[in-house]
Amino acid sequence: MATPQPPETLEADRGLAAVGAGLDALDAPAQNRRKSPWQRFLHTAVPPIVAFGLLLGTWQALWASAIWPEFQLPAPAAVWDTIWATVQSGDAAEILWTSVSRAVLGFLVAVIIATPLGLLIAKVRVVRAAIGSLLTGLQSLPSVAWVPAAILWFGLTPSAIYFVVLMGSVPSIANGLVSGIDQIPPLLPRVGQALGAGKLSSARHILLPAALPGYLAGLKQGWAFSWRSLMAAEIIATSPQLGLGLGQFLHNGQSLNDISMVIAAIFLILLVGIGIELLLFRPLERAVLRARGLTGALG
Amino acid sequence: MTATLEAPTPSDVNAAVALSGVRKVFGHGAGAVVALDGVDLRVAPGEFVCLLGASGCGKSTLLNLVAGLDAPTSGEIALTTSRPAVMFQEAALMPWLTAARNVELPLRLAGLKRGARRAKASELLSLVRLGEAGGKRPHELSGGMRQRVALARALASTLGSAEAGTPGLMLMDEPFAALDAITRDVLQAELVRVWRETGTAIVFVTHDVREAVRLGQRVVLLSSRPGRVVREWNVDGLTGADESNSIEEITAHLREVISGHAAAS
């Protein structure tokens, strides 16, 4: 059909190109200007710092008014001293390492188990009918409920702790992947089929990337559940051969009637949770959502 | 000048796609719906055919059958082209890929090497005048630009496997229906230009008579429930009064087909 075109067609073609280019310039969505680093700091870091300062001030004021006895409400400075002492003696690093390494290892194993499980539930109708609702139910079961059973089955061993962590995080990760796959617009797999994708290449090039936001949300929740389950297991299953984790540290604080130690432990547990969220999951999620133009929730 | 083709009889060899006695039934027993019944249609290589019909005429079903996304209940569909490309009403670009990567996707699925993929994709993007926008994500493009990326991607999927010289075939399911009037106007002209430059055959489904007459060489009117070919018109190169006469005549027939349903029900 490539016939030589008469001059008036070329003329019309050029006019068309100009109109098209004008439309492109007018209709393309405006891009948000990226904020400067200083503005970003001002908008994201200052509010939580101010909130933390206020909290600390209220605490100090409550302690100074001496409504509660010292063994119930310690001074902020006393808690800080406890934390500083454990950091200086090297105990803090060891305690954190014991707990964080357990949580990370448990989480990774959970990812390896939950990913194929989620794919199976999402894509095979019989599997979904059989265990789909069971998995959702397990997600709402507090993982601390598994601790007694784990101790009876595995004794006071690391296996018991890992078992509880897995029971906590596998359902969240698998459910996240399932809902990620369920939320894929049905047109996309059809388009993939029309473009020549087989079953496997469709999973690799269409399904998995399309389900990534939901999967990532599942991973984030899975991490939170594995951290929580680990703390529950460590607080209840305490024994010398299990080593000293954050949960045991908290438990020891209670046994010693040392409120500063208890609050220091809670503070460290929070610190790890927030740290992993800010350093790992938040940037990952931002990158994935920004690439898809889903920046509404990010601010 | 409106030539009415009562009995289209091009030879078998000369068809990009030939449908004979195609029938498609959805469901079984009493609830079964006959979407298409005895459809015969031939599209010559490089031909631009518009399928026209009211809702429920099975236009989209027909495209799905030709694309191989669905199988006919009975009848035959013979393709002499490479794998047909499909363009939908929505651009349906992969939101996690840039425009260039979207165009590369069918080439990647066909197993092309990276260098060849890149070259082909940038060639096709310049063909739809988006040479500069290859690095942008779908959400950074306007509706018209997205639909042009989808056009480039469709061309990649039908021409990517056609290095051996087999002609391409594009199936378009009301691709411009969701766009505003000016953008639609520009894109219609762009489509005709791209069609002339690539020589691919196009089957274009629409319910807009004006669009069908403007774009197509041949307009095929389908009846509704079940879809059957009612009549065809040769509308190639019509201008001015001839064009508006055709539009009037085809619209009258379309109305007749639609009002036939009111009497039947």
**Residue B75's CATH number:** 3.40.50.300
Residue B225 included in any domain: yes
Compute the distance between CA of residue B208 and CA of residue B213 in angstroms, rounded to an integer: 9
Q: With residue B152 as reference, give the H or E element that holds it.
A: helix B143-159
Residue B254 included in any domain: yes
Residue B14 included in any domain: no
B187 with B257, same domain: the answer is: yes
Cβ-Cβ contacts under 8 Å, B196 against chain A: 1-3, 5
Q: What is the DSSP letter of B79?
A: E
* Residue B201, beta-bridge partner list: B169
CB contact, 8 Å: B126 with chain A?
no
Look up residue A131 and give its two tokens: 């265990």
Measured between CB atoms, which of A27, A188, A193 is closest to B142?
A27
What CATH number has the domain spanning A76-291? 1.10.3720.10
Identify the residue with better confidence: A14 or A209: A209
Residue B260 included in any domain: yes
Compute the distance between CA of residue B66 and CA of residue B85 in angstroms, rounded to an integer: 10
- The answer to whether A24 contacts B137, with C-beta atoms less than 8 Å apart, is no
ipTM of the complex: 0.76
**Which range, of A62-76, B8-22, B212-226, averages the lowest pLDDT?**
B8-22
Measured between CB atoms, which of A21, A190, A201 is closest to B109?
A201
In this structure, the strands spanning B17-26 and B33-43 are antiparallel
Residue B9 has pLDDT above 50, yes or no: no
Compute the distance between CA of residue B145 and CA of residue A30 in angstroms, rounded to an integer: 14
B117 with B48, same domain: the answer is: no
Residue A3 has pLDDT above 50, yes or no: no
pLDDT at B57: 67
Q: Give the nearest chain A residue to B170 (CA atoms).
A: A194
B125 with B76, same domain: the answer is: no
Q: How many residues does chain A have?
A: 299
B207 with B158, same domain: the answer is: no
- From B145, B166, B187, give the residue that closes a domain: B166
**Which range, of A228-237, A262-271, B151-160, averages the lowest pLDDT?**
B151-160
B245 with B219, same domain: the answer is: yes
B183 with B68, same domain: the answer is: yes
Residue B11 included in any domain: no
Cβ-Cβ contacts under 8 Å, A3 against chain B: 196
Q: Is B206 helix (H, G, I), strand (E, B) or coil?
A: strand
B183 with B265, same domain: the answer is: yes
The residue type at A292: R
Domain boundaries, chain A: 76-291
CB contact, 8 Å: B137 with chain A?
yes
Measured between CB atoms, which of B83, B133, B198 is closest to A196?
B83
Structural domain count of chain B? 2
Instruction: At B127, give phi and psi (nearest 5°).
Output: -60, -35
Residue B10 included in any domain: no
The Cβ of residue A126 has, within 10 Å, a number of other Cβ atoms equal to: 8
- From B116, B137, B166, give the residue that closes a domain: B166
B198 lies in which domain range? 26-81+169-265
Q: Which among B183, B197, B234 is positioned nearest to B8, based on CA atoms?
A: B234
Residue B1 included in any domain: no
B209 with B245, same domain: the answer is: yes
Q: Which of residues 63-102 of B touch A (CB under 8 A)?
A: 67, 69, 83, 85-86, 88, 90, 92, 94-96
- The answer to whether B142 contacts A20, with C-beta atoms less than 8 Å apart, is no
Residue B248 included in any domain: yes
CB contact, 8 Å: B141 with chain A?
yes
B161 with B184, same domain: the answer is: no
B133 with B148, same domain: the answer is: yes
B159 with B189, same domain: the answer is: no
- The answer to whether A23 contacts B86, with C-beta atoms less than 8 Å apart, is no
- The answer to whether A193 contacts B69, with C-beta atoms less than 8 Å apart, is yes
Task: Work out the percent of chain A whose per-residue pLDDT is above 90.
Answer: 19
Cβ-Cβ contacts under 8 Å, B127 against chain A: none
B160 with B196, same domain: the answer is: no
Cβ-Cβ contacts under 8 Å, B126 against chain A: none
